[in-house]
């Protein structure tokens, strides 16, 4: 279904490009002429008639004859076959070798990239025509030998271009998403990255076709291209040199054929690039929203329309976990209900603290992550996540939350490494894990929801293709079965008309619906742990609440654990069981949500709670934390929060602060009485 939809969209875009259609028609005519040359040529290409030499156009010879009496029209027809064959051979060699090597060295990087580019530099320093002449001199005349040399030079050009675009493309979020889903490296390179980098390659291939035709004509003109029995436009030009004055048509015909063919190849590349890309200016418009496809306001996974008995109400009023007031919180008549994104007071949820069980699903001990310069991006981080638990990781930007999540999944940026510590998923050590073992964990046991759905989905693949690739990467399902499973997943996350939406591209989804697709991909193989890294940042307020409610309901329904990374303490209060507050690459405080919000023990936690908007403030300005999070290479001595802390003493500025048995990293934790949630 998705393939048919993609082809239909390409055809629609193509029909809106008349120049491209004309070029395609001309190329199609050339191919037909080349294939049917023996049938349509009035004479053989080398059939001699000395009595008829250098004749002008006539009934017997429509375009005249050359100096040996050979029919010019017949030779022009057979020359078309040679031109297309030469161009196709050289560009095919260049594409297969160059694109394959370019994707590999660009994606792998490191020494592979350095060695590959040094070889490319050496090869590209040799002019293509000179290499072709040298190879012909060694192997002998012949079209295949000449085009092999040209193909090798083209391969270097394709390799450099492919490598350049892959270097930029590999850093995009959809590539990380594909790796998180557990796709094999070859699948990531050739099924995900290659279609996204194909537009410049299409243009380069079309230019190379014209260049190859010119090189073949040049070699034939010089007498070192095709053998004497073959016909070439370049050889026709060579034969016409001595007779241009008496028979100018001999040079005009092959010259015009070469010029038109090169022009068509150059124009065709731009048109095919635009037609093949759903992101192009001529791309099909997103489908108009209908009542069925509108963004649901309170839908649940069991009923995408929101009208049936399975519809899930807004999870702020959670019937399973009744809300209670924290000590010191406002009375119920003055406190507004607080949902995940409410602007009122933070509402606490009744939960009992749990000890760290020996069979915790995820256990991180002493995790330290360093950058290439040796700076510690994350320092001695330890926490655990129980089965069926929602664990919140909060803090300002730059505190190390996303780096911690990336370390769990082995998605650290190049040069950033786990310097110390352990990351265990039950009995599997993830720190240092790689290859096939890590691929099985990604997608199969751990899923991830990224913050920007527009970047986490490949723009040139339908959502059906992306979901089925993830499903088949971890199962033996056939494509038809994977499509059925993908439709079930879209229905599970509340996407209306799931079978129809499988055919759509990401740009045809609204932001909220696109995030539901990302969640469906993360759930494709029933993971034990779902990591949600700022899953609502790119969405508007109403849709944020829907997505958060969906995550919580899916966690309960599928009995999985959820690691929720967020800046929003309202989200934490409404969704999480326990919380870890991160600051400057360290855990500042780790406790149950109820305890941390009611009686925070670290000044940073108090400052974050004070910055939450609340009712009854009147004209009181919103509280802020002075200063900003320092960079990793400039962590303060002592307590890393001390430059921004109003409780800091001289000891806080000089003494390293370990985390205590209660999960708090503060020298004055036992003597401070900090304000909780208002």
Q: For 551-586, how does the pLDDT look when each residue is reduced to its tens digit (9 = 90+)?
A: 888 888 888 999 999 888 888 888 899 999 999 999
DSSP string, 8-23: HHHHHHHHT-HHHHHH
User: Mean pLDDT throughout 338-348?
Assistant: 37
Which residue from 637, 573, 652, 630 is spatially nearest to 605, judged by alpha carbons? 573
Which residue from 86, 89, 79, 66 is spatially nearest to 33, judged by alpha carbons? 79
What global pTM score does this model have?
Answer: 0.68
* CA 324 – CA 331 distance, rounded (Å): 11
Cα dihedral 313, 317, 320, 326, rounded to 10, equals: 160
Which residue from 483, 475, 340, 367 is spatially nearest to 422, judged by alpha carbons? 367
Which residue from 525, 524, 513, 578 is spatially nearest to 550, judged by alpha carbons? 513
Confidence of residue 356 (pLDDT cuts 50, 70, 90): low
Confidence of residue 617 (pLDDT cuts 50, 70, 90): low
- Could you give the percent of the chain with pLDDT greater than 90? 26
| pLDDT score of 275 | 67
Rounded to 10°, the helix 479-492/511-522 angle is: 120
| pLDDT score of 320 | 33
Residues 6+ away with beta carbon under 8 Å from 113? 105, 106, 163
Percent helix, strand, coil in the chain (nearest 5)? 50, 10, 40
Which residue from 430, 381, 390, 393 is spatially nearest to 409, judged by alpha carbons? 430
Q: What are the chain's domains? A: 21-45+73-276 (1.10.3720.10), 360-576 (3.40.50.300)
The 10s digit of each residue's pLDDT in 141-158 is 677 777 787 888 888 889
The 10s digit of each residue's pLDDT in 389-445 is 999 999 998 899 999 999 999 989 888 999 999 999 988 999 988 888 888 888 889
Using the Cα atoms of residue 270, residue 275, residue 277 and residue 282 in order, give the sign of their dihedral: positive
Cα dihedral 330, 333, 334, 339, rounded to 10, equals: 80
Sheet of strand 376-385, all strands in order from the earlier edge strand to the far edge: 376-385, 362-370, 417-425, 428-429
- Tokens standing for residue 455: 């970047």
Q: Which residue has the higher pLDDT, 471 or 123?
A: 471
| pLDDT score of 19 | 84
Lowest mean pLDDT, pick from 126-140, 203-217, 427-441, 578-592: 126-140
Q: What are phi and psi for residue 586, nearest 5 degrees?
A: -125, 155
């Amino acid at each position: 279904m998705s393939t048919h939809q993609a082809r239909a969209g390409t055809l629609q875009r193509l029909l809106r490009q008349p120049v491209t259609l004309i070029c395609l028609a001309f190329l199609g005519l050339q191919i037909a002429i080349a294939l049917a040359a023996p049938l349509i040529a009035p004479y053989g290409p080398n059939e001699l008639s000395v009595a008829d030499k250098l004749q002008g156009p006539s009934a017997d010879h429509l375009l005249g004859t050359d100096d040996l009496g050979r029919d010019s029209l017949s030779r022009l027809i057979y020359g078309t076959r040679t031109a297309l064959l030469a161009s196709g051979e050289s560009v095919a060699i260049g594409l297969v070798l160059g694109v394959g090597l370019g994707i590999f060295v660009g994606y792998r990087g490191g020494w592979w990239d350095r060695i590959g580019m040094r070889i490319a530099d050496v090869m590209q320093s040799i002019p293509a025509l000179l290499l072709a002449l040298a190879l012909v001199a060694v192997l002998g005349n012949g079209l295949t030998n000449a085009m092999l040399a040209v193909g090798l030079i083209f391969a270097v050009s394709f390799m450099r271009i492919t490598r350049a675009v892959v270097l930029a493309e590999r850093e995009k979020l959809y590539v990380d998403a594909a790796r998180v889903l557990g796709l094999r490296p070859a699948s990531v390179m050739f099924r995900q990255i290659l279609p996204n980098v194909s537009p410049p390659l299409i243009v380069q291939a079309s230019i190379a076709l014209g260049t190859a035709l010119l090189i073949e004509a040049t070699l034939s003109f010089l007498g070192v291209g095709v053998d004497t029995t073959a016909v070439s436009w370049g050889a026709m030009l060579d034969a016409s040199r001595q007779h241009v004055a008496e028979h100018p048509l001999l040079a005009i015909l092959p010259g015009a054929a070469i010029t038109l063919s090169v022009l068509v190849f150059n124009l065709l590349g731009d048109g095919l690039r635009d037609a093949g890309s759903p992101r192009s200016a001529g791309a099909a418009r997103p489908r108009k929203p209908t009542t069925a496809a509108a963004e649901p306001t309170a839908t649940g996974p069991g009923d995408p329309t929101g009208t049936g008995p399975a519809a899930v109400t807004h999870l702020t009023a959670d019937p399973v976990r009744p809300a209670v007031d924290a000590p010191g919180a406002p009375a119920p008549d003055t406190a507004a209900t607080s949902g995940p994104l409410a602007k009122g007071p933070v509402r606490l949820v009744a939960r009992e603290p749990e000890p760290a069980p020996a069979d915790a699903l995820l256990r991180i001990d002493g995790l330290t992550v360093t950058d290439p310069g040796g700076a510690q991006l994350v320092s001695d981080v330890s926490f655990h996540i129980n089965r069926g638990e929602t664990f919140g990781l909060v803090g300002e930007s730059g505190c190390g939350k996303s780096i911690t999540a990336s370390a769990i999944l082995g998605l650290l940026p190049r040069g950033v490494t786990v310097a110390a510590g352990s990351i265990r998923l039950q009995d599997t050590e993830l720190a240092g894990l790689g290859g096939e073992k890590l691929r099985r964990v990604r997608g199969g046991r751990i899923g991830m929801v990224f913050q920007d759905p527009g970047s986490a989905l490949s723009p040139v693949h339908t959502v059906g293709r992306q979901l089925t690739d993830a499903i088949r990467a971890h199962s033996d399902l056939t494509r038809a079965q994977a499509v059925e499973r993908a439709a079930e997943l879209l229905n599970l996350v509340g996407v209306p008309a799931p079978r129809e939406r499988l055919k759509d591209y990401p740009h045809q989804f609204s932001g909220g619906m696109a995030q539901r697709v990302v969640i469906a991909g993360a759930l494709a193989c029933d993971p034990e742990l779902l990591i949600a890294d700022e899953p609502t940042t790119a969405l508007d307020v109403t849709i944020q609440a829907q997505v958060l409610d969906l995550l919580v309901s899916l966690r309960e329904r599928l009995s999985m654990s959820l690691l929720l990374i967020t800046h929003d303490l309202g989200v934490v209060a409404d969704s999480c069981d326990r919380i870890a507050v991160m600051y400057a690459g360290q855990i500042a405080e780790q406790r149950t949500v109820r305890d941390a919000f009611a009686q925070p023990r670290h000044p940073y936690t108090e400052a974050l709670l004070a910055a939450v908007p609340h009712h009854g403030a009147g004209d009181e300005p919103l509280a802020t934390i002075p200063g900003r999070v320092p960079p990793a290479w400039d962590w303060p001595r002592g307590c890393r929060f001390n430059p921004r802390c109003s409780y800091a003493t001289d000891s806080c500025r000089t003494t390293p602060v370990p985390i205590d048995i209660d999960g708090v990293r503060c020298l004055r934790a036992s003597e401070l009485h900090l304000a909780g949630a208002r």
